Copies of this chain bind each other. A is one copy, B any other.
Amino acid sequence: MTPVLGVALLYGIYTYLRARGRDRWRPRCASEDSGMSPFRASAGFTDSWGHFGFEVSDGVAIVTFDRPDRLNALTFEVYADLRDLLGELEQRDDVRVLVITGSGRGFCSGGDVDEIIGALQGMGSSRLLEFTRMTGAVVERIRRLPLPVIAAVNGVAAGAGAVIALASDIRILAESASLSFLFTRVGLSGGDMGAAYLLPRVVGLGRASELLFLGEKIEADYAMAIGLATRVVADADLTSEARSLAQELASGPAFAYAATKMMIDRELDMDLGAAIEFEAFAQALLMTSEDHAEFYRAFTGKRPPEWKGR
């Protein structure tokens, strides 16, 4: 065997193993039947995130903030990982729903006072902007992600933690959970990561003004009363309720959900005429989907539909 052949063989083995390793991170799901998306670039998915728990099963991805001794306060690293994970999720064929939750007593207490606020002191303007743009990108990616995002709020969601919950499509709160937009209490603007855009659109301009100016704690029941919580459940039931809803959505018509998410998100910024035209084109597209045909076949066949997600 010549040296050239030996190198080629080793490279082939390396390439094979690398591809095989990558495939481990693509669990089977309905859409695999018809093959992978041809729009995947050659970069693989990240198989391990260092700064939060991450698992995928049965179409449900779960991010678990995991610094329980700090009520899951955010660090630069958590933000950076979250931003990039959110960039990958859209490409993953095996993820149809995202759940965000926290380990321990808290959901997420916002930027860590030592690791973030301390580090910001004395940082230069352009570096500060890099930071605030990174945090904003997390929210923008949650909103632009074409699948339902569920925040399972297990405890305190404060500052950036409250905004991450706010940016999610569905918020299931444990009875003992709370949200607070406490930015002014640290001398910053109540508008952070898009909070001043989102909160008035969720609870109205009056309530949002109060909550962003004063940064008061919003208990779960009050959050429910003002439309900020989607559901409130007993603390002990939070995980099962969130997983159950996630599973229901993950086994549903994923293409229809993706379209729903995009319309809700984009039409906040459209005028009525454009929104109606957008929905006309989008719904015509959905009417040619396999899932819509499946609904009709199932209905006329008096059986439940089997959604394919396309």
Contact = CB atoms under 8 A, between A and B. Distances in A.
Interface of A: 113, 117-118, 120-121, 123, 125, 128-129, 131-133, 135-137, 139-140, 143, 148, 169-171, 183-198, 200-210, 212-213, 226-230, 249, 252-253, 255-257, 259-261, 263-265, 267-273, 275-284, 286-289, 291-296, 299-300, 305, 307
A48 B258 CA distance: 42
A279 B188 contact: no
A229 B257 CA distance: 26
9 tightest CB-CB pairs across the interface, nearest first? A191-B263, A189-B259, A197-B275, A187-B291, A190-B260, A196-B263, A269-B271, A132-B280, A187-B292
A191 to B, nearest CB: 3
- The A interface, classified by DSSP as helix, strand, loop or mixed, is helix
B257 A184 contact: yes
Given A187-B292, A187-B294, A196-B275, 11 more contacts: A120-B292, A123-B287, A131-B284, A170-B209, A190-B263, A194-B276, A197-B272, A200-B268, A206-B229, A209-B264, A268-B272
